[in-house]
Structure 1
Amino acid sequence: MQLLEAKLQKIDRHNYRSYSSLRGEYHFVDFDFFIDITQSDPYAPASRVRARRKWSLTDLEWLKDQSADYQRAARDFIARYFNELAQQINEIQIDRPGQTVLDRTAVVFDDDAIELRFRINLPSDGRTIIAKKTANLFVHTMPKVIRRATIARELPIDELKRHCEAIEDQVSLRKQLADKGLMAFIADGSILPRLAGNSDLPLPEALPFTSPDNLAVELQAPHRGTIRGMGVPTGITMIVGGGFHGKSTLLNAIESSVYDHIPGDGREYIVTDENAAKIRAEDGRCVHNVDLSPYISNLPMGKDTNMFSTQNASGSTSQASWLQESIEAGAKALLIDEDTSATNFMIRDERMQALIAKDDEPITPLVDRISLLRDQLGISILLVMGGSGDYLDVADTVIQMHNYEAIDVTEKAKQVVESHPTRRQLEGSSAIEQPRTRKLNCAGLKAMLEDGKFRIQVKDKSSLRFGREFIDLQALEQVADSSQLHAIGWLWFQLAQQKGWEKAPSKTFSRMLCNDEWFRSMPNYGDIAKPRVLEVMAVLNRMRCAEFK
């Protein structure tokens, strides 16, 4: 501490860049402090720092004996508490978690210490250093926050335990899905609607969810015990209903529940198969050597769809590509909303079939391939559908949303199919195969970084900068936090150190993320969160300069 004060006095009234001399390690009475990166300018991103406090000084050593998921939740809770303590201190910032509980690096548990990773905006007068103000921040203000966030008597321990137990419950529920033949589970009493389109908070006056009796199942949670709710079976499930009755709201709750949620969110006992991917149409995106032949063939000008590439995909080709890319990356369930889909990819009705001969139509709609995805590849599909009844012919389960209430109308749907048989012709009966694995050029990634001065930057969930390229990610609705994108960039950085072509990139990323120490090969940053392999590959597929074969 005295060393830090001495260094500050030495650079008092110097140019702001002199802060770089502070980089290094400092020993306080009860914690060690590290200044890893100092900002070069008052308007540059804040300086990166770390504080390590030994377990013996925290009375929290019991956390080391808990499960990995309990510890993940405890680290998340400490980061949230640190954020609350620092809210009134403009200079101190930590990676603030949202409604999901991800595996983050803002707080790290080591064998000997709790490590906090956060940012500090170093004070100045214009571009001149004010040593007294900075010393007060480092010596008085910051230590109080560090100590209060890492000692049992200052933490709301009962609340911490509830937080961690809720996460363990969700993990346990998710693990039971496969044995129960389910792709998702929505507990009774869950709150599905969100406060606003730009807010992930629960809507206070929302109607609690209630399961229809025919779809009700009971799962066992280690802390809460028996939980009743609606099980969404594997296979093909349709969510139907009138407009504004809650169809998309139910789908949104299911898609977000591949992750765990905090207590009080309303979705903390909703769980979804962790390998569920939401797909949609995405006009203008790039596509790299994807086999679209099960859905699109015989394009004009003889364009090959067995290895389809474009820098400007249409709605149908983009959605077909996303479907194939997701299965290639390991998706076991697909989530689709009619509102965000390409109509000609989803359906071709009998009148259009009569008007345009099949030989003149390159698209085989999903309705004619969906049962093969289920039967031959074991892929479950959840569809929100309000405008096409032709999917009733292939649906295993049909759920109607009426005034935000779920009703099992599977038997009624079967009666409708029987009394109103479709007259459209089946257009795709040939076998469907697992999409082939594409190779990735690692040298191409390295060249992009070298050209862009190794820039890996994230501002929000809509974009990732890798080298000189800004990757548009606005369509990826299952990215829960921008910190996941930061991790994705550093995963690519590691792959870029290899030579030649990576034969199975999704499997490689899976190995890189498969253990609790996944972040150790990355910089000591506090704004990194574990992504799913599905998102790592989805972002990579949207990199316009990526090279696949």
Structure 2
Amino acid sequence: MKIGGLKYMNTSTQLRSQLASIHRKSYPAYKSLKGSYDFQRYIFHIEHVQGDPFASPSNVRVFVPHSKAGFPEEYYQTAHTRVALQDYLIRRMEKELSPHSFQAKGSGKSGILRITHCGQEILERTACKIDRQGIHVRFEIGFPANGRTINAPELEKIFFSILPDCVFHALYYKNQNPDTVLQVFELAEDQYFIRQELSRLGLTAFVADGAILPRQSGVSDLPMKNCIPFSSPESLRIQLQLPHKGALTGMGLPRGITLIVGGGYHGKSTLLQALEMGVYNHRKGDGREYVITDSTALKIRAEDGRHIQQVDISLFINDLPNQKDTRAFTSLDASGSTSQAANIAEGLYGGSRLFLIDEDTSATNFMVRDKMMQTLIRREKEPITPFLERIREIYEHSGCSTILVAGSSGAFFHKADTVIQMDSYRPIDITKAAKELCQKYPLLPTEKPPYHAPKDKRIVLPHNDRHSRHGSRGPERAKLKVLSKDAFSINRETVDLRYVEQLADVEQTAALAQLLRYTLENLADGRNTVPQICQQLEKLLQKDGLDGLFGTSMVPGNLAMPRMEEIRSCLNRYRGWKN
């Protein structure tokens, strides 16, 4: 028999016998269970067994062939509908498993039944993979023990009573509400359609009328209750004819330079934050399921103390008093203005088509110089060319639009194509009034170096010899530890991702750690630049997903796919390169 990629496997009856034979033995005897077992309705893989009941739970995988699962083929034919269905199945499996967690008693983590918890964004995760053969679901089980003595009857209860029901109810189409599954499929197709329309219509983003943008709190991503729904200004309102939902109206933000202004607490940052996360699809009921942003959109901010290495920041910074070359600039502790210049340069390297910037998190001296400062400090004494003087050129020469939240400087009115005022969470198009005001308050003429597109020519190698191309065949693999959504360590070198603000999930951070390790072991060989490394990673991920990082090794069930923008940001913030 060959199913789930395996030629031979044990039966569930043999698993029951093995369990009986190790009852009351010392905990390491559980390792004899590792293998694959045919439960008729599904194949059960025990891929990694924990060392003791207090260690991380054991990793298992369930495989259900399509012939048994029975989901309509059209629901997983395309990448966007497949990811949406996978997300749905993870949520269903969590709903089935959670009530049974710790029902099997014992010491430590005995009886845990745990699968990835999905947030509001729909992400591709290793917890569920649908391929040509069927559905693979990865989760964790705490194998029960009394002290460190095996309690086989409790694990038998999990294997033969709890899991079969959970799998049957979560992963078989006949046990789903068909209307709910259809809605998942149709929403994915509608969201994909809007993303395609952005390009066709020359838009950077779309925000549907009726969208709920505010969140419950700073620590909750759930939609706020009893808030003001979004309503587009008439001048920016467009109507889309979606494949399934039909007519949908909302605000279409055109390419170019868009300025969002207004008083404090009127919703400027709320709108920008919704656009930041609009690079991901959102689940039905989130309130932002029809807030769709260009998929390459990159949040840009200042990062005091950021490490930058051989970055071409000469578009913004030149003629330093120490004569340091800004075409390949390195700093272990960059200032706010230098880090923001580097972030923009790296975004242009990576082909971003949209920058999202909030004045509140930007370096003031990087963004603009007012008339008095320009008069007092002559141009030849100021090495910084402010973003104000480059924003139009970035769009016209590199095709990268900008959406900027501004509250203190009106200088950007002169550069903006569209100006939106947020008034009590309601957007108002004030472009005409802003342009009329610009006539009364003209900008001083300035001189600046000619525009040039930054280029990344870094050939990278890791500092430490143990990061070698031999990878797992070498004497030592890089040790990873995910600290939070904002950071991970690799061989005790912390990669700080606090200001990579479009990371949606700690599992994306875990995936970035694995991607960096793969890069150090396979791609950082003295021949590749960072953009070339990113190209190779992108090809690998498109072909095999995150599974491609592990070869024949076990794939963890707690990884989520990051965008290429976050992968680039991670590689650029790693301090372990040498050139």
Q: Quote the sequence identity (%).
A: 39
For 2:461, the equivalent position in structure 1 comes to: 441
Q: Which amino acid aligns with 1:501?
A: R
For 2:83, the equivalent position in structure 1 comes to: 72
In structure 2, C-alpha distance between the alignment counterparts of 1:285 and 1:316, rounded to whole Å: 11
Where 1:101 maps in the other structure, the secondary structure is: coil
Q: Is residue 442–residue 502 contact of structure 1 (8 Å, CA) maintained in 2?
A: no
In structure 2, C-alpha distance between the alignment counterparts of 1:501 and 1:385, rounded to whole Å: 42
Q: How does 1:493-512 map to 2 (within 5 A)?
A: 493-495=517-519, 496-498=521-523, 499-503=525-529, 504-512=532-540
Q: Is residue 350–residue 425 contact of structure 1 (8 Å, CA) maintained in 2?
A: no
For 2:446, the equivalent position in structure 1 comes to: 426
For 1:40, the equivalent position in structure 2 comes to: 51
Label 1:520 to 1:152 Cα distance change in 2 as closer, same or farther (>3 A): same
In structure 2, C-alpha distance between the alignment counterparts of 1:23 and 1:65, rounded to whole Å: 30
For 1:247, the equivalent position in structure 2 comes to: 268
Where 2:326 maps in the other structure, the secondary structure is: coil
Give the drift of 1:493.
3.6
Give TM-score, length-normalised by structure 2: 0.90
Give the drift of 1:139.
1.7
Q: Which amino acid aligns with 2:42?
A: F
Q: Is residue 236–residue 395 contact of structure 1 (8 Å, CA) maintained in 2?
A: yes
Where 2:100 maps in the other structure, the secondary structure is: coil
Q: How does 1:149-228 map to 2 (within 5 A)?
A: 149-228=170-249
Give the drift of 1:488.
2.6
In structure 2, C-alpha distance between the alignment counterparts of 1:178 and 1:446, rounded to whole Å: 45
Label 1:235 to 1:65 Cα distance change in 2 as closer, same or farther (>3 A): closer
Q: How does 1:306-317 map to 2 (within 5 A)?
A: 306-317=327-338
For 2:95, the equivalent position in structure 1 comes to: 84
Q: Which runs of 5+ in 1 are unaligned?
A: none
1:546 pairs with 2:577 = yes
Label 1:443 to 1:497 Cα distance change in 2 as closer, same or farther (>3 A): farther
Q: Is residue 452–residue 467 contact of structure 1 (8 Å, CA) maintained in 2?
A: no
For 2:397, the equivalent position in structure 1 comes to: 376
List per-residue Cα deviations over 1:227-250 (Å, max 9, x = no partner): 111111111110000000000000
In structure 2, C-alpha distance between the alignment counterparts of 1:283 and 1:356, rounded to whole Å: 24
Residue from 496, 500, 512 that aligns with 1:488: 512
Give the drift of 1:127.
2.8
List per-residue Cα deviations over 1:312-367 (Å, max 9, x = no partner): 11111111111111111221110000111111111111222233333332211101
Q: Is residue 236–residue 381 contact of structure 1 (8 Å, CA) maintained in 2?
A: yes
Residue from 293, 296, 304 that aligns with 1:272: 293
Q: Is residue 466–residue 476 contact of structure 2 (8 Å, CA) maintained in 1?
A: no
Label 1:38 to 1:267 Cα distance change in 2 as closer, same or farther (>3 A): same
In structure 1, C-alpha distance between the alignment counterparts of 2:282 and 2:54, rounded to whole Å: 34
Residue from 358, 361, 365 that aligns with 1:337: 358
Q: Which amino acid aligns with 2:420?
A: I
Give TM-score, length-normalised by structure 1: 0.95
Give the drift of 1:382.
0.6
List per-residue Cα deviations over 1:178-222 (Å, max 9, x = no partner): 111110010111110011001111001111111101111122211
List per-residue Cα deviations over 1:501-548 (Å, max 9, x = no partner): 31412222222233465634434222222221111010111111123x
Q: Is residue 206–residue 251 contact of structure 2 (8 Å, CA) maintained in 1?
A: yes
Bigger Cα displacement from structure 2, 96-105 vs 66-75: 66-75
Label 1:437 to 1:52 Cα distance change in 2 as closer, same or farther (>3 A): same
In structure 1, C-alpha distance between the alignment counterparts of 2:159 and 2:478, rounded to whole Å: 31
In structure 1, C-alpha distance between the alignment counterparts of 2:122 and 2:466, rounded to whole Å: 32
Q: Which amino acid aligns with 2:500?
A: L
Q: Which amino acid aligns with 2:178?
A: I
Label 1:510 to 1:59 Cα distance change in 2 as closer, same or farther (>3 A): closer
In structure 1, C-alpha distance between the alignment counterparts of 2:302 and 2:100, rounded to whole Å: 43
1:53 pairs with 2:74 = no
For 2:348, the equivalent position in structure 1 comes to: 327
Give the drift of 1:476.
1.1
In structure 2, C-alpha distance between the alignment counterparts of 1:455 and 1:156, rounded to whole Å: 44
Q: Is residue 541–residue 548 contact of structure 2 (8 Å, CA) maintained in 1?
A: no
In structure 2, C-alpha distance between the alignment counterparts of 1:164 and 1:493, rounded to whole Å: 35
Label 1:47 to 1:206 Cα distance change in 2 as closer, same or farther (>3 A): same
Q: Which amino acid aligns with 1:433?
A: A
Residue from 112, 116, 126 that aligns with 2:133: 112
In structure 2, C-alpha distance between the alignment counterparts of 1:14 and 1:236, rounded to whole Å: 69
Q: Is residue 443–residue 501 contact of structure 1 (8 Å, CA) maintained in 2?
A: no
Where 1:227 maps in the other structure, the secondary structure is: strand
Label 1:290 to 1:209 Cα distance change in 2 as closer, same or farther (>3 A): same
In structure 1, C-alpha distance between the alignment counterparts of 2:325 and 2:449, rounded to whole Å: 21
Give the drift of 1:174.
0.7
Q: Is residue 276–residue 335 contact of structure 1 (8 Å, CA) maintained in 2?
A: yes
Label 1:158 to 1:193 Cα distance change in 2 as closer, same or farther (>3 A): same
Label 1:220 to 1:285 Cα distance change in 2 as closer, same or farther (>3 A): same
For 2:104, the equivalent position in structure 1 comes to: none
Label 1:445 to 1:122 Cα distance change in 2 as closer, same or farther (>3 A): farther
Where 1:261 maps in the other structure, the secondary structure is: coil
Where 1:309 maps in the other structure, the secondary structure is: strand
For 1:357, the equivalent position in structure 2 comes to: 378
In structure 1, C-alpha distance between the alignment counterparts of 2:49 and 2:199, rounded to whole Å: 48
Q: Is residue 257–residue 416 contact of structure 2 (8 Å, CA) maintained in 1?
A: yes
Q: Which amino acid aligns with 1:506?
A: C
Label 1:425 to 1:446 Cα distance change in 2 as closer, same or farther (>3 A): farther
Bigger Cα displacement from structure 2, 464-473 vs 199-208: 464-473
Q: Which amino acid aligns with 2:130?
A: F
In structure 2, C-alpha distance between the alignment counterparts of 1:428 and 1:225, rounded to whole Å: 49
In structure 2, C-alpha distance between the alignment counterparts of 1:329 and 1:65, rounded to whole Å: 30
Give the drift of 1:64.
6.0
In structure 1, C-alpha distance between the alignment counterparts of 2:438 and 2:413, rounded to whole Å: 7
1:398 pairs with 2:419 = yes
For 1:478, the equivalent position in structure 2 comes to: 502
For 1:8, the equivalent position in structure 2 comes to: 19
In structure 2, C-alpha distance between the alignment counterparts of 1:290 and 1:349, rounded to whole Å: 28
1:519 pairs with 2:547 = yes
In structure 2, C-alpha distance between the alignment counterparts of 1:70 and 1:206, rounded to whole Å: 31
Q: How does 1:89-104 map to 2 (within 5 A)?
A: 89-90=100-101, 91-104=112-125
Where 2:140 maps in the other structure, the secondary structure is: strand
In structure 1, C-alpha distance between the alignment counterparts of 2:298 and 2:465, rounded to whole Å: 25
Give the drift of 1:7.
2.6
1:531 pairs with 2:531 = no
Where 1:36 maps in the other structure, the secondary structure is: strand
Q: Is residue 540–residue 546 contact of structure 1 (8 Å, CA) maintained in 2?
A: no
Give the drift of 1:67.
2.9
Q: Is residue 312–residue 454 contact of structure 2 (8 Å, CA) maintained in 1?
A: no
| Superposition CA RMSD, Å | 2.1
Aligned residues: 547
List per-residue Cα deviations over 1:398-452 (Å, max 9, x = no partner): 0100000000000000011012223x44242512224334333268696188797
Q: How does 1:132-147 map to 2 (within 5 A)?
A: 132-147=153-168
Q: Which amino acid aligns with 1:395?
A: A
In structure 2, C-alpha distance between the alignment counterparts of 1:479 and 1:425, rounded to whole Å: 40
